Amino acid sequence: MSQETLLKIKGFYDWIYKIFLFICKLLLVADILVVSLTVLGRYVPFIPDPTWTEEITLTLMSYMAVLSAALAIRRGAHIRMTSFDRYLPNVVINVLDVLADIGVMILAVIMLVVGWKYATGIGAKGFYPSLPWLSKQVMYMPIPIAGIAMIIFEAESLFNNVLKLMGKEPILEKEESLEEQVAEGGV
């Protein structure tokens, strides 16, 4: 692949990352607003205390949790076992990174397939008790959505790790982990 093609691919992944990051930010703002309404409703006499706020808060948090986990795949920010990395040859570390990517990719596909099945099956049959017009499908949908995001970002990570295994430069340089910053005396 040419360098120009790789830069276009990287641009596509940057764009997708920004979209999911923006969605997470919107979810956080909505979560803060809903919780604020709950607090105000409990302590300010003339503001009603809605019954639906707890369920909506938990649903928004579940979306944020799984989508931000997908974003962490892109940044390489998930916790990893690196104790033995300094004792292993780089080739072995690169092979283990590729195997880890394949494992996470399998998990992402399972999240997409099984999550979709639950969201459209069980989720479509239930409703929130305090919001009878809202299907519980909304509550189950973050899993398949996160599965899609994880597949997208894991494909990039797998591609980068395969490039490293072949001795080429990856198209995305990951941020240094906190562990690496501490080891270098940067924190």
Task: Note the pLDDT of residue 66.
Answer: 92
Instruction: Please report, in tens digits, the pLDDT of each residue of the chain (187 residues total).
Output: 667 877 788 888 889 999 999 999 999 999 999 999 999 988 888 888 888 888 899 999 999 999 999 999 888 877 777 778 888 898 998 899 899 999 999 999 999 999 999 988 887 787 777 777 778 888 889 999 999 999 999 998 898 888 888 887 776 555 544 455 556 655 4
Instruction: Please tell me what DSSP assigns to residue 134.
Output: S
- DSSP letters of 47-102? S---SSHHHHHHHHHHHHHHHHHHHHHHHT-S----TTGGGS-HHHHHHHHHHHHH
pTM (global) more than 0.95: no
| Distance of alpha carbon 61 from the chain centroid | 12
What pLDDT is attached to residue 25?
Answer: 94
pLDDT attached to residue 40: 92
For residue 114, what pLDDT is reported?
95
Q: Is-contact 158 172, C-beta < 8 A?
A: no
* DSSP reduced 3-state for 67: helix
Distance CA 136, CA 129 (A): 10
pLDDT of residue 145: 94
